[in-house]
Amino acid sequence: MPLRAAYAFLLYTAVLVLPVGALAVSADADEQIVRGEYLARAANCMGCHTAHGGEPYAGGRRLGTEFGTFVAPNITPDPGTGIGNWSRDDFWRAMHHGRRADGSPLYPACPYTQFTQATREDVDAIYAYLRTVPAVDQETRGHDLRFPASVRPLQRVWQRLYFEPGPFEADPEQSEEWNRGAYLVRGLSHCMACHDARDRFGAPRADGAAGGHAQGWYAPSLRSSQEAGLQGWSLEEGVALLRGGRSGDAAMMGPMADIVHDSLQHLTEDDVRAMTEYLRSLPEQEVTTSVRGTTVSEGRLDELMERGQAIYENRCMDCHGTSGQGTVAASALAGNRAVMLNDPTNVIRIIRDGGYPPSTEDNPRPFGMPPFPDLSEADVAAIVTYIRRSWGNDGASVSTATVGRTR
């Protein structure tokens, strides 16, 4: 029976071949999900889309900005309260064009203005990964924004004025490594979303090196080595800072400690090297941030410095050294660029609230900076002014009023 034999043969091969084909498909799918998880790490989607102590990606985290407070939405596959009903194309439109599934514009509080540089392949991988996280039924609608930011359709106007969808264009003059770094830094890792200044409409300002603001901190510019730039750093030092959270006098603090902890330390060494390579190559630009807040008059300066010195000797010297040179317990304040930034916000916050560099594989148990809640605003102005102007440091003085406004 040749026909039967043929059938039998077909069936037999189908049985043999199909599972192999299915296996190949599912291996591809697994590979895509693993890649998606990695890319979601690189973009730190979880950092914003997870409330403190909440379920991963279930939203609810409140993000304060100068336009009001955003509540990050639930992006788990729950169909009712998450993005379970979003198709792959819907998701691509969100990441690439800044459109939600219903066609309305997204706020750039979700950094689609950077994510737009990501390839379709990478965005699809993130989508595939997000389909696999546990669905959580949790309503997260309702930002608390001021007019006119509160009118979502106006974002369409904003997009028309300030937003151009990607994709990333590789620079053929540069190495593959540099291009990989540029792709991550400008795109999924959205470094410039915090580190570049914006004007009062929230549009990127393009005048030299001026940093941005994030969660009540100043994010110094990556375009100048006087701020947060890695120009002039060795590749090794830069990689150590980005992956380990500390290098030389620099320590990642505040929101940056979270970025290292939640995102950068999980990236491959190759990717962090590529990012460092790209950052090192950014053209050095002149710092254009003006001194924030008010300074004190020449006449009051001596008094303030004396008061600051007394506090330093009492409260800081044991850890930061007799002349700010640092000890094993804490970094140098002398020559430390983070201390001298024109915007003193971070220094004021660190002294008042304390904080830790991130715990990472390279530096699993970082020493912490203790908080000093008992220092009065005048004391903080004195100690900040003192460390900004001693041992060769040439930062601007800081008034009590400026400390008072840094809340």
Pick out residues in 244-303 that bind ligand HEC (CB under 6 A).
246, 249-256, 259, 264, 275, 279
Segment interacting with ligand HEC (CB under 6 A) among 65-73, 281-289, 294-302, 397-405: 65-73
Q: How far is the CB of 208 from ligand HEC (least distance, A)?
A: 18
In the list 133, 182, 334, 387, the residue contacting ligand HEC (rule: CB under 6 A) is: 387
Q: Judged by CB, which is closer to ligand HEC: 296, or 341?
A: 341
> What are the angstrom distances between the C-alpha of 150 and each of 143, 147, 154?
8, 5, 9
Instruction: By CB under 6 A, tell whether 367 contacts ligand HEC.
Output: yes
In the list 41, 48, 224, 265, the residue contacting ligand HEC (rule: CB under 6 A) is: 48
Interface positions, 8-47, toward ligand HEC (CB under 6 A): 40, 43-45, 47
Q: Judged by CB, which is closer to ligand HEC: 5, or 39?
A: 39
Q: Judged by CB, which is closer to ligand HEC: 33, or 63?
A: 63
Q: How far is the CB of 285 from ligand HEC (least distance, A)?
A: 15
Q: Judged by CB, which is closer to ligand HEC: 296, or 331?
A: 331
Token pair of 79 as six digits? 């169909």
When computed from its CA atoms, the radius of gyration of the chain, rounded to whole angstroms, is: 25
Interface positions, 200-229, toward ligand HEC (CB under 6 A): 214, 217, 219-220, 228
Q: Judged by CB, which is closer to ligand HEC: 7, or 100?
A: 100
Q: How far is the CB of 29 from ligand HEC (least distance, A)?
A: 18
Q: How far is the CB of 48 from ligand HEC (least distance, A)?
A: 3
Interface positions, 116-135, toward ligand HEC (CB under 6 A): 126
In the list 97, 325, 330, 377, the residue contacting ligand HEC (rule: CB under 6 A) is: 330
Instruction: By CB under 6 A, tell whether 109 contacts ligand HEC.
Output: yes
Q: How far is the CB of 57 from ligand HEC (least distance, A)?
A: 9
In the list 93, 96, 186, 195, the residue contacting ligand HEC (rule: CB under 6 A) is: 195
Q: Judged by CB, which is closer to ligand HEC: 315, or 405?
A: 315
Nearest to 72 by CA among 52, 88, 96: 52
Between CA 61 and CA 70 the distance in angstroms is: 8
In the list 190, 223, 243, 388, the residue contacting ligand HEC (rule: CB under 6 A) is: 190
Q: Judged by CB, which is closer to ligand HEC: 194, or 296?
A: 194
Chain center to CA of 231 = 19
Between CA 237 and CA 87 the distance in angstroms is: 43
Instruction: By CB under 6 A, tell whether 107 contacts ligand HEC.
Output: yes
Kindly report the number of other CB atoms within 10 A of residue 298's CB atom. 8
Segment interacting with ligand HEC (CB under 6 A) among 3-11, 175-183, 298-306, 331-339: 331-339
Segment interacting with ligand HEC (CB under 6 A) among 14-22, 157-165, 297-305, 312-320: 312-320
Q: How far is the CB of 144 from ligand HEC (least distance, A)?
A: 12
Between CA 121 and CA 77 the distance in angstroms is: 20
Q: Is the peptide bond before 283 cis (omega within 30 degrees of 0)?
A: no
Instruction: By CB under 6 A, tell whether 191 contacts ligand HEC.
Output: yes
- Residues near 114 by beta carbon (within 8 Å), at least 6 away in sequence: 186, 187, 188, 189, 190, 192, 193
Site residue total, ligand HEC (CB under 6 A): 75
Token pair of 111 as six digits? 């950094």
First to last CA, the chain: 88
Instruction: By CB under 6 A, tell whether 348 contacts ligand HEC.
Output: no
Nearest to 215 by CA among 193, 243, 237: 193
Q: Which residue has the tokens 């940093």?
A: 211
Kindly report the number of other CB atoms within 10 A of residue 288's CB atom. 16
Between CA 4 and CA 363 the distance in angstroms is: 69
Residue type, 302: D
Between CA 407 and CA 399 the distance in angstroms is: 14
Q: Give the burial string for 32-63 (b: 16+ CB within 10 Å, else e).
A: bbebbbbbbbbbbbbbbbbbeebbebbbbbee
Between CA 295 and CA 83 the distance in angstroms is: 49
Between CA 27 and CA 33 the distance in angstroms is: 10
Segment interacting with ligand HEC (CB under 6 A) among 27-35, 169-177, 183-191, 196-204: 183-191
Segment interacting with ligand HEC (CB under 6 A) among 108-116, 200-208, 281-289, 391-399: 108-116
